[in-house]
Amino acid sequence: MAFKILIVEDEADFREVLVEYLQLKGFEADGIESVAQYTALSAPQQYDLIVLDRTLPDGDGLSILEAFRKTSSNPVIILSGLGEVQDRVKGLDADADYYLVKPVKMPELLSIVNRYARRATPNPSMDAFWKINPKQWALISPCGIEMKLTNQELIFLICFDDVEGVAVARETIIKALGHRPEIYDLRRLETMVSRLRNKTKDAGMKEFPLATVYGSGYVFNGKLKVELND
């Protein structure tokens, strides 16, 4: 199955160049020019990657990023003429995976796209599951990397057992952690999640599939199971 890319770019000539270039490199690429056209898409989550301009005729492309993150954790590359430090920080804080500043060299863009395409290609020799071993307080990645968990991290991840791709509400998670949602400081949960993501990176676990569902909770876009055996 071809790796599907959506180009969101209002400069028609540049958009066509990007689409044709990526198609020549073997990808399935489509192009649109505005926030409205994105909103009209019936299934934007079908795209494996989005290349996103920010200065669109009807708004900031970050509104598209926010909408996409509600249904998908797939990578988003911002490609924009807004290149000041504060612009890049704003894009990355909005959960973009990469921020490129125009003008961009095509080989550089292709290299980044190829990296995400390789990561999206399943290895049939790997166990497809992420695993939690409660007795060992451990998270085990599909390729066998093991990472120790704290008690709170263990309880948090167990909330996603057998609910692949389904958002789990913050209130549900907070109650599982033993707290009352109405008085709980959400920053504690956000800090724990941030530390957990950093731990997985440090452990060498690539593409940890935990995504934030803004205004709701979190979703684990992978198969996760709790191992009850020793």
**What is the span of the domain harbouring residue 200?**
129-226
**At which of 81, 99, 120 does a domain end?**
120
Number of separate domains in the chain: 2
What CA–CA distances, in Å, run from 38 to 41, 50, 62, 67?
Answer: 5, 11, 12, 9
Same domain, 62 and 159: no
- CA 215/CA 152 separation, integer angstroms: 22
Tokens of 102: 């125009």
Same domain, 51 and 109: yes
Same domain, 10 and 100: yes
Same domain, 69 and 153: no
Which amino acid is present at 162?
D
Contact 33, 8 (CB under 8 A): yes
Same domain, 13 and 106: yes
Q: What is the pTM of this model?
A: 0.56
Tokens of 225: 């199971």
Same domain, 148 and 202: yes
Same domain, 92 and 154: no
Same domain, 111 and 149: no
Same domain, 10 and 114: yes
**At which of 120, 152, 174 does a domain end?**
120
Same domain, 86 and 178: no
Same domain, 23 and 54: yes
- CA 177/CA 174 separation, integer angstroms: 5
Q: What is the CATH number of the domain that holds 63?
A: 3.40.50.2300
Q: H or E element: which one contains 139?
A: strand 138-140
**At which of 56, 90, 120 does a domain end?**
120
Contact 104, 79 (CB under 8 A): yes
Report strand pairing: 146-148 vs 28-32: unpaired
Same domain, 95 and 15: yes
pLDDT tens digits for the chain (230 residues)?
Answer: 689 999 999 999 999 999 999 999 999 999 999 999 999 999 898 999 999 999 999 999 999 999 999 888 899 999 999 999 999 999 999 999 999 999 999 999 999 999 888 877 655 444 578 999 999 999 998 888 899 999 999 999 999 988 888 889 999 999 999 999 999 999 999 999 999 999 998 888 877 889 888 778 999 988 898 987 65
Q: Which residue has the tokens 């957990």?
A: 196
